[in-house]
Amino acid sequence: MPLISVVVPIYNVERYLADCLESLAQQTHGELEVILVDDGSTDSSADVARTFADRDPRFRLVQQPNGGLGNARNTGADLATGDYLAFVDSDDVVVRNAYELMGGSLEKTGSDFASGNYHRLTVTGTWQSAMVAGAFRANRLRTHVSKHEALLNDRTAWNKLFRRSFWTRHQFRWPEGVLYEDIPVTLPAHVLARSVDVLRQPVYLWRARVGDSSSITQRRTEARAIRDRTRAVDGVSRFLADHGEHALKSRYDRSVAEQDLGYFLSQLDVADDEFRSLFLEVVNDYFDRADDDVFDHLPAIRRLEWHLVRRRLLPELLEVLRFEKSGEINWTPMVRKGRRFWGDYPFRGDPELAIPDSVYRLDREEIPLRASVEDVFWQGDQLTLTGYAHIAFLDLSRPGSARIRLTLEESGHPENVVSMKVRTVRRPDVTESAPDGVTCYDWCGFEATAPVSELAPRGRYRDGHWRLRVEVRSHGILRRRWLARTEPGRAKRPALKTVGGVRVVPTSEVGDFAVEVSAGPATVTDVVVDGPVLELHGTLHGRSLDPGACRLRAARRDGTATLHYPAAAAGPPSPDG
């Protein structure tokens, strides 16, 4: 098995360090070299690290005066001897099979590094990090950022496993003495790699510490933070230009406007005058080298703010931020001309400022379809859904103001579409709770039904995944999308339906709301834990099945391990066989 070197910089994390190191000690890939770099901690972190080094020969503790995260990472990388190299932040947790998964993929594909999905770790559980959801939606082996541009958002150091030969060949070094160390290394690595393995399975849990949100907001008004962030993104943008990656540079500059520098823009109203002047200086210098359409993809309110930044109109910019943050934007009506809409935001039509109308134009995403399933239940063999659906800002004060259509569509079989029978229901409560506070949505409710038999194409059930699409046509405007939102209660965990041994289960656990049809040969009906023994009880379906020849196969979702167990008949055949 190849040796993996894992570098763990440590600085004053006594509260979290043991969890982090235990997650490394328990890795299913055992050939590890864990290099613990104590960067001058003043708490008991070094003692915690020493405990692991004393009990496990794979762990090695190195202590040095405080030099910062980048310096500690470089110290560890210089000491690494493994075939592969990984970095871990000492307050986070590594998923138990992370290095088995990433290392196994690299051994098969020959890619220069693997990058795995990651979740946020909070006191209440874990959840998908929204920033990288698009990058890790599916496994992509031997890919590249030029083929999968969503990888421009994959900027962290710790969800990756690098070939050490790739690392040393390109002489990567983490920046020292600055904030935002990851960006100047990870994004150039994506460009320089011959290929990368992208794995949708979470490999890392990124901890959200209690109180982090307030400290992050405070940092977004610090001069050092805006300087270091701008320097980091500017280095990447120039790197992309120098390597002829013009399409990637354009996409990257747009993401910088939306995320990296957009975060600082949103805090200008609470910053001091010195920070505001510095912000206008450094960000305008950055966007002087960007395409003219760098802000076009943003919502109208953000385009307006950046337009004012580029013209250095600070008082007007602060007024727009006040307008947005006060919530006034939510009850400001839009302006419609034909099929186009504009936000009636500050300074629109002001003859002295002469801000172009295009800045205020609302895109489709800014006039969204809002929809939710609030209840799911069975009436005999009828699947019944209740909820609401409406297009933002369009009046539904009268019956018939909107046409609502719901369809169940089988994934992988676009020809199989079930149109549900929809009855419109009056819902004044939706109007009362709507965020804009000025539009009437009274006739946006629905009750939709469909017989379970329609989920059996040509009269036969098969394993399938039926997603729910909602469509609303109102005032000449059409919006449609997959429905994802479900309310707490039965809509989150509705009852299943069994038809001749076939399980029909409405669910939202896979992302979008869907109906899962399972027509497999067996159904698990009970789970019993007896000491170290796990017993599964169930039913076999189909008269051609021989109970004596059946075995149970248990497999990991990622396919890295499969186990087989004997199964025994425990009763007479069921009515369906």
Domain for residue 237, yes or no?
A: no
Domain boundary among 207, 235, 265: 207
Q: Are residues 29 and 155 in the same domain?
A: yes
User: Residue 573: its pLDDT value, please?
Assistant: 59
Q: How many domains does the chain have?
A: 4
> 295 — phi, psi (to 5°)?
-105, 0
> Distance between CA atoms of 58 and 99, rounded to whole angstroms?
15
| Chain centroid, CA 515 distance in Å | 23
What b-and-e string marks burial along 84-106, b requiring 16 or more CB atoms within 10 Å of the CB?
Answer: bbbbbbbbbbbbebbbbbbbbbb
User: Residue 544: its pLDDT value, please?
Assistant: 47
Q: Are residues 467 and 542 in the same domain?
A: no
User: Residue 240: its pLDDT value, please?
Assistant: 97
Inter-helix orientation angle 223-242/183-192, to 10°: 10
Predicted TM-score (pTM) of this structure: 0.79
How open is the CA angle 435-440-444, to the nearest 5 degrees? 90
User: Residue 556: its pLDDT value, please?
Assistant: 62
User: Residue 542: its pLDDT value, please?
Assistant: 55
Helix (H), strand (E) at residue 504? strand 502-507
User: Residue 541: its pLDDT value, please?
Assistant: 60
Q: Is 479 exposed, middle or buried (0-12, 13-18, 19+ CB in 10 A)?
A: buried
User: Residue 212: its pLDDT value, please?
Assistant: 56
> Distance between CA atoms of 536 and 523, rounded to whole angstroms?
10
Chunk the chain into consecutive blocks of 10 residues (it has 577) and report each block's average pLDDT, rounded to whole numbers: 94 95 96 98 97 97 96 98 97 96 97 96 87 91 96 96 98 95 96 97 90 60 94 97 96 96 96 97 98 96 98 98 92 84 95 96 91 93 95 93 96 94 96 85 97 92 92 94 81 78 77 81 79 82 59 64 73 55
User: Residue 214: its pLDDT value, please?
Assistant: 47
Residue range(s) defining the domain that contains residue 15: 4-207
Domain for residue 574, yes or no?
A: no
Question: What single letter denotes the amino acid at residue 336?
Answer: R
Contact present, 320 and 359 (Cβ < 8 Å): no
Domain for residue 64, yes or no?
A: yes
Q: Are residues 17 and 88 in the same domain?
A: yes
Domain boundary among 341, 366, 391: 366
Q: Are residues 359 and 387 in the same domain?
A: no
DSSP codes of every residue in 137-169: SS-EEEE-TTT-GGGGG---STTEEEEHHHHHH
Q: Are residues 46 and 186 in the same domain?
A: yes
Q: Are residues 179 and 251 in the same domain?
A: no
The CATH number given to whatever domain includes residue 453 is 2.60.40
Q: Are residues 185 and 36 in the same domain?
A: yes
> Distance between CA atoms of 558 and 149, rounded to whole angstroms?
24
Q: Are residues 139 and 266 in the same domain?
A: no
Q: Are residues 81 and 152 in the same domain?
A: yes
Q: Is 154 exposed, middle or buried (0-12, 13-18, 19+ CB in 10 A)?
A: buried
Q: Are residues 148 and 280 in the same domain?
A: no
